[in-house]
Structure 1
Amino acid sequence: MAEFVHITAERSARRIERSGIAARSRGRIGIRGVYCMPVLPSFTLTYQWVRELRRWHPGVLVAVHLRLPDDEPVAVGRYSELPREVSAAAAIAAVRGLDDPRGYEVFVPRAITVSEIRRVRGVPQGIGWRYQPSARGRRPCTCPACLQPGTYKVDRLRRRFPYDDDPPARPKSELMARLHAAESADEIIEVLYELGRKRRGGAEELAYLADHPDPDVRDTLESVLRVYRGSVARHLRERLQRAADEV
Structure 2
Amino acid sequence: MLLAFDVGNTNIVLGIFEGKKLLTDWRIATDKSKTADEYGIIINNLFNYHKLDVGSITDVIISSVVPPIMTSLEEMAFKYFNVNPMIVGPGIKTGMPILYENPKEVGADRIVNGIAAYNKYGGPLIIVDFGTATTFCAISAKGEYLGGAITPGVQISAEALYTRTAKLPKVELIAPKNKKTIGKNTVAAMQAGIVYGYCGIVESIVTRMKKEMGSKDVKVIATGGISPVIASESKVIDSVDKLLTLDGLRIIYEQNKIIKI
Instruction: Tell me, yes or no, whether TM beats 0.5.
Output: no
Give the TM interval when normalised to the shorter protein: under 0.3
